[in-house]
Amino acid sequence: MKLLLLRWLKFNVVGALGVGVQLGTLAALTSGPGLNYLVATAMAVEAAVLHNFIWHQCFTWRDRTRARGGLARRLISFHGTNGVVSLVGNLFVMHVLVGVGRMPYLLANALAILSCSIINFLLAELVVFVAAPKHSSKNL
């Protein structure tokens, strides 16, 4: 339980950095080239997903970097879980809060990120960075 709590704290440190990446990317894409907020959100989420994967690999779950299937499997799995949850969740929440509710897009995006974080932690812990099974020394 103590290890899980430590992982949750590390996950949130990485997530906080990822929030900066996502909000900075979103602001840059909407104010610079003037992209639509939903297109910019999708691109910002992808930037944050890649950023977070690297940090989770090297920091949050570094004790599991040799777990099942290697780096490529974990990256694909991370995109298929955390990436999909983040993308779908962010686009849905952004549409509701900004498109319907007229909330400022950066505030709405911060709320969208928070709404996806617990699901993403559980998926990373239970699906992406799964510890390799321990082999029994007993012969069967």
Q: Is 139 within the bounds of a domain?
A: no
Collapsed DSSP state (helix, strand, coil) of residue 99 = helix
Q: Is 91 within the bounds of a domain?
A: yes
Q: Is 95 within the bounds of a domain?
A: yes
What pLDDT was estimated at residue 131?
78
In the chain, the number of structural domains is 1
What pLDDT was estimated at residue 137?
52
Q: Is 138 within the bounds of a domain?
A: no
Parent domain of 43: 2-128
Q: CA 87, CA 84: separation in Å to the nearest integer?
A: 5
pTM of the model: 0.82
What pLDDT was estimated at residue 68?
65
What pLDDT was estimated at residue 1?
84
CA distances from 87 to 19, 97, 116, 134 (A): 14, 15, 9, 34
CA distances from 23 to 15, 46, 67, 82 (A): 12, 12, 31, 17
Q: Is 111 within the bounds of a domain?
A: yes
Q: Is 86 within the bounds of a domain?
A: yes
Condensed to tens digits (0 to 9), the pLDDT of residues 38-93 reads: 999 999 999 999 999 999 999 999 988 776 678 899 999 999 999 999 999 989 99
Q: Is 40 within the bounds of a domain?
A: yes
